[in-house]
A and B are shown apart, each in its own frame.
Chain A
Amino acid sequence: DTAVSQTPKYLVTQMGNDKSIKCEQNLGHDTMYWYKQDSKKFLKIMFSYNNKELIINETVPNRFSPKSPDKAHLNLHINSLELGDSAVYFCASSHPATGPEAFFGQGTRLTVV
């Protein structure tokens, strides 16, 4: 049973399209995150939600909009996709009861052509 699952695993789309990446965790965690890993493997936090409330919002274009319908889900919607959005996007979750570390999903490789 996958703890943090993202769909899809691969996403290829044209510039200008709108796409969503879904994330679900079955760990009962309160906090969920989106990270972006670029082509040089550099990993940077984008957003963090705690109990469906946005707590971290890094300098990210407002074409990126996270949505948390409930504690177990944090989806990422991207409007008007650009070539520079191509990256691997990771969802993660954490909770004090399970330790200080975050549990990551398997990543979604987004390619914008």
Chain B
Amino acid sequence: AQKITQTQPGMFVQEKEAVTLDCTYDTSDQSYGLFWYKQPSSGEMIFLIYQGSYDEQNATEGRYSLNFQKARKSANLVISASQLGDSAMYFCAMSDRGTSYDKVIFGPGTSLSVIP
């Protein structure tokens, strides 16, 4: 069965510093997709970044990058130059076959606090 693990329930980072949020996954599928979503205190779910299992390059979106290590089954999110607005819950998620319209499993989340 597929499973997502986020071992850091809470993280702190100084403003303007970089931070890595850990995500490991377990699947027997060859084709899958990995997502990161952000949930600020206002409650909405915001898509950040996606990595397909066959993508050779690590995904990047602005200040977000996904450190994909397939052999280790890890998909860590790196946020560069943290801002106060980055304080939120961050969820790692995985879908079989790589898209949202397949079943998506979410991890338990990591709460990130950015300190001025």
Is A100 a contact partner of B52 (Cβ separation < 8 A)?
yes
Q: How near does chain B come to A45, taking the closest CB pair, in angstroms?
A: 6
User: Which residues on B sit within 8 Å (CB–CB) of A88?
Assistant: 43
Q: Kindly state whether residue A86 has any CB partner on chain B within 8 Å.
A: no
Q: In the complex, how many residues of chain A place their beta carbon closer than 8 angstroms to a beta carbon of chain B?
A: 27
CA A48 – CA B44 in complex, angstroms? 19
Q: Are A56 and B44 in contact (CB under 8 A)?
A: no
CB pair A56–B103 under 8 Å, yes or no, is yes
CB < 8 Å: which of A31, A41, A103 contacts B101? Answer: A31
B50 to chain A, nearest CB (A): 5
Give A42's nearest chain B residue, CB to CB: B108
Question: Is A99 among interface residues, defined by CB-CB distance under 8 A?
Answer: yes
- From residue B1, how far is it (CB to closest CB) to chain A in Å? 13
Which residues of chain B have C-beta atoms less than 8 A from A112's C-beta?
none
CB of A43 closer than 8 Å to a CB of B: yes
Q: Is the interface of B mostly helix, strand, loop or mixed?
A: strand
Report the number of A-B residue pairs with Cβ-Cβ less than 8 Å.
61
Shortest beta-carbon distance, A95 to chain B, in Å?
A: 8
Check A94–B100 contact: CB distance below 8 A: yes
Pick from A44, A100, A104: contact of B99, CB below 8 A: A100
- CB of B68 closer than 8 Å to a CB of A: no
Q: Is the CB of B108 within 8 A of A92?
A: no
- Taking the closest CB of chain A, its distance from the CB of B10, in whole angstroms, is 12
Which of A43, A56, A106 is the one whose CB lies under 8 Å from B106?
Answer: A43
The answer to whether B33 touches A100 (Cβ under 8 A) is yes
State which of B89, B98, B106 has its C-beta within 8 Å of the C-beta of A100.
B98
Contact B101 A106 (CB under 8 A): no
Q: Is A34 an interface residue (CB 8 A)?
A: no
A1 within 8 A of B: no
CB distance A42 to B106 under 8 Å?
A: yes
Q: Chain B residues in contact with chain A, CB under 8 A?
A: 33, 35, 37, 39, 43-47, 50, 52, 89, 91, 95, 98-101, 103-106, 108-109
- The 7 A-B pairs of least Cβ separation, nearest first, read A104-B45, A102-B100, A94-B100, A101-B47, A43-B106, A31-B101, A100-B99
Known: A41-B89, A104-B44, A109-B43. 15 other contacts (CB 8 A): A43-B45, A44-B106, A45-B103, A90-B45, A92-B45, A94-B99, A94-B100, A94-B101, A100-B33, A100-B35, A101-B35, A101-B47, A102-B100, A103-B47, A107-B43
